[in-house]
Amino acid sequence: MQQVTIYRNPDRYAGWPANYGMWNWGNEIVLVFTAGYNGVTEGIHSRDKSRPFETMQTRSLDGGKTWSLEPFTGHSPDNRGLSADEHMNEGLRLGDILDANPPLEPQGDINFTHPDFALMSARTGLKTGARSFFYISYDRCRTWEGRYDLPMFGQTAVANRTDYVVEDIDQCLLMLTVNKPDGEEGRILAVRTADGGKTFSPVSYVAEDIEETDGFMIMPSTLKLGNQTLLSAVRCRGGSRAENQARTWIDLYRSEDAGTTWHYMNRPVEFRQMGHNGNPPTLHQLPDKRLVLIYGNRDKPYTVGARLSEDDGLSWSDEITLREGGVNRDFGYPRTVVLPDGTIVTAYYFNDQPDGEGERFIEATIWKP
């Protein structure tokens, strides 16, 4: 098991790969994340909300051992940071100027099966009115086309992160994070395009109702097992945040009909300590057909963990520790790719400063179970 630094700057706060994306073509890997500036801790995040966040992109050509920064070429009005409005003060946010600089209407003709294809979702904020859009690339993320608009689908907010399943040359299923009727996060809505991205139609909710006021189901990681079979690992929260009694876990859902209906399978991960927001999962299949589920564990002692399944998610191994040494809950949000030989490369943001202040950095663990 090897830890590799992808991006670290003592003045910068880098974070949240799960909000963006990670793709690979053999041993060539691209990761998108964001970077702001260090600041005073607010909640768990020690970033400076009075300064802008910047969308960052980095590439490895050797299976994650070395990385090079490169420009993110996707258009954003005034070069404002993507998917980070909640971490900036009013006046710096993309949502502040989106109405005057709306996303493009999709024209269709997207070739989802192109060998060098990538799609990345992005959003403004998290609360009522948040909007989402997407970019596409046909050259392994060297250039990005878009911002293409995603409809609101009758929701109070669409606060999406990248999760999609390619089904055919012109057909793709997007797993969206949308907000509840009260405007708070969130539910998971599956939508499909069958005309190359020109239009999208709602298909299903992964779960119809989120009963608890402070509950959410957000940030899915969805895997295609067969022509009609899908698995989706979901970040969940329940309990009272005001009373510091929030409970967090990861649930697994399965669809046998390409996302038309879903049923609950099990709970691979249940975080034991109350009062934190949990961490999103990544779910992948290895060449030997085993599944791997990876997440940041915000229970002390603050580790990045993984679990394996040999039966398509019916049962899971004990936790495997990929990274130790975290000093507080401000870490995680992983993205993962699996290389052709079964090597796993998982990127996440991390915090090893003794006092919990200072920079946050992007790191990868390279391992082979």
What is the pLDDT, as a whole number, of residue 277?
86
What is the pLDDT, as a whole number, of residue 184?
85
The encoded tokens of residue 355 equal: 């006092």
The dotted CATH code for 2-367 is 2.120.10.10
What is the pLDDT, as a whole number, of residue 353?
86
Whole-angstrom Cα distance, residue 332 to residue 350? 6
Q: What number of H helices and E strands is found in the chain?
A: 0, 25
The encoded tokens of residue 152 equal: 């609101």
CA separation (Å) from 178 to 64, 128, 135, 183, 259?
Answer: 32, 10, 19, 9, 16
Residues paired with residue 254 on neighbouring β-strands, in sequence order: 231, 263
What is the pLDDT, as a whole number, of residue 213?
63
pLDDT tens, residue order, the chain (369 aa): 999 999 999 999 999 999 999 999 999 999 999 999 999 888 789 999 999 999 999 999 999 999 999 999 999 999 999 999 999 999 999 999 999 999 999 999 999 999 999 999 999 999 999 999 999 999 999 999 999 999 999 999 999 999 999 999 999 999 999 998 888 888 999 999 999 999 999 999 998 767 666 789 999 999 999 889 999 999 999 887 776 778 999 999 999 999 999 999 999 999 999 888 899 999 999 999 999 999 999 999 999 999 999 999 999 999 999 999 999 999 999 999 999 999 999 999 999 988 878 899 999 999 999
Buried b (16+ CB within 10 A) or exposed e, 51-83: ebbbbbbbbbeebbeebeeeebebebeeebbbb
Whole-angstrom Cα distance, residue 207 to residue 186? 11
What is the pLDDT, as a whole number, of residue 243?
67
What residue type is 90 in one-letter code?
A: E
Q: Where are the domains of the chain?
A: 2-367
